[in-house]
Amino acid sequence: MSRVGVLLLNLGGPEQLEDVRPFLFNLFSDPEIIRLPFPWLQKPLAWLISTLRFQKSQENYKEIGGGSPLRSITEQQALAIEKQLEEKGLTAQTYIGMRYWHPFTEEALTRIKRDQIERLVILPLYPQYSISTSGSSFRLLDQLWQKDPELQNTDYTVIPSWYQRPGYIQAMAELIAQELDNCPNSEQVHIFFSAHGVPVSYVEEAGDPYQAEIEDCVDKIMKALNRSNSHTLAYQSRVGPVEWLKPYTEEAIQELASDGVKDLLVVPISFVSEHIETLQEIDMEYREVAEEAGISNFYRVPALNTHPVFINDLADLVVEALDAPTRLFSDAIQMKKIIKMYPQEKWQWGLTTTAEVWNGRLAMLGFMALLLELITGYGPLHLAGLL
Rounded to whole angstroms, the Cα distance separating 197 from 248 reads 8
Task: Flag whether 213 is marked binding.
Answer: no
Rounded to whole angstroms, the Cα distance separating 64 from 202 reads 31
Long-range contacts of residues 219-223, Cβ cutoff 8 Å, at least 24 apart: 220/163, 220/164, 220/169, 221/169, 221/172, 221/173, 221/176, 221/193, 221/267, 221/269, 222/191
Task: Flag whether 277 is marked binding.
Answer: yes
Burial of 151 (0-12, 13-18, 19+ CB in 10 A): middle
Determine the residue type at 6: V
Contact at 8 Å (CB) between 339 and 206?
yes
Q: What burial letters (b/e) apply to 315-341, b meaning 16+ CB within 10 Å?
A: bbbbbebbeeeebebeebbeebeebbb
Rounded to whole angstroms, the Cα distance separating 163 from 270 reads 9
Rounded to whole angstroms, the Cα distance separating 291 from 246 reads 22
Burial of 158 (0-12, 13-18, 19+ CB in 10 A): buried
Helix axis angle for 308-323 and 166-181, nearest 10°, is 170
Contact at 8 Å (CB) between 213 and 161?
yes
Burial of 135 (0-12, 13-18, 19+ CB in 10 A): buried
Rounded to whole angstroms, the Cα distance separating 339 from 335 reads 10
H/E segment holding residue 75: helix 70-87
Q: What angle do CA 306, 8, 223 make, to 5 degrees?
A: 55
Q: Dihedral sign, CA of 15, 18, 24, 26?
A: negative
Rounded to whole angstroms, the Cα distance separating 266 from 295 reads 12
Residue 23: closest CA among 130, 96, 104: 104
Q: Taking the mean position of all CA atoms in its chain, how far away is CA 101?
A: 14
Binding residues for Fe(2+), by number, are: 196, 277
Binding residues, by number, are: 196, 277
